């Protein structure tokens, strides 16, 4: 029997943030991404939300020996949701899950912010796997860009922050400028 897999649509697309094997591109159908607030922390979560007629690109990777403990800990605040039937991928495994914030934990309002160091990691992953069009698609298939963004690049708050090249940083900034995103300094 093969190992189960997860579908990643945010930082898990950047394979420098994890060591799960057999990572490869996939598409999750019937979902979009959204920045959402919860009571769990002062920053927003990037989550998948059901959205019939939509799809998002990401990666699947194996969870060896069905050992979800470390990934569940990394993805605390999210629920692990079965997604096998919603994922298109070559050589599809029999068991795929996606992490999503439970709807009952989502909140409106508040002064939560997006960490730019987290967004940088996500965009770097999409650029490496899907190219510049994949980055544009990431921004287009994500809701909640009215959420303020905290510029923590100089002192990253995201624990798995990565170094970006000047061109990668410029790509993130270009898309944020195009969205008229509100970026606040730390």
Percent of the chain with pLDDT over 90: 90
For residues 12 and 121, give the distance between their C-alpha atoms in angstroms, rounded to a whole number: 9
48 within 8 A of 93, measured Cβ to Cβ: no
For residues 161 and 159, give the distance between their C-alpha atoms in angstroms, rounded to a whole number: 6
Residues in the chain, pLDDT under 50 = none
pLDDT single digits (tens) 110-148: 789 999 999 999 999 999 999 999 999 999 999 999 999
Alpha-carbon dihedral sign for residues 8, 13, 18, 19: positive
């Amino acid at each position: 029997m093969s190992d189960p897999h997860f579908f990643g649509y945010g930082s898990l697309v950047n394979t420098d943030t994890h060591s799960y094997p057999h990572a490869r591109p996939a598409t999750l159908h019937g979902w979009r991404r959204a920045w959402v607030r919860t009571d769990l922390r002062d920053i927003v979560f990037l989550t998948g939300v059901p959205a019939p007629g939509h799809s998002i690109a990401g990666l699947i990777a194996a969870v060896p020996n069905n050992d979800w403990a470390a990934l569940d800990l990394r993805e605390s605040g999210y629920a692990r949701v079965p997604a096998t039937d919603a994922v298109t991928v070559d050589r599809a495994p029999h068991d795929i899950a996606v992490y999503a914030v439970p709807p009952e934990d989502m909140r409106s309002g508040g002064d939560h912010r997006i960490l730019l160091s987290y967004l940088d990691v996500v965009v770097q992953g999409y650029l490496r796997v899907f190219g510049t069009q994949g980055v544009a698609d990431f921004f287009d298939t994500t809701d909640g860009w009215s959420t303020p963004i905290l510029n923590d690049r100089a002192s990253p708050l995201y624990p798995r922050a990565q170094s970006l090249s000047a061109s990668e940083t410029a790509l993130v900034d270009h898309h944020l400028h195009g969205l008229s995103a509100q970026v606040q300094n730390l």
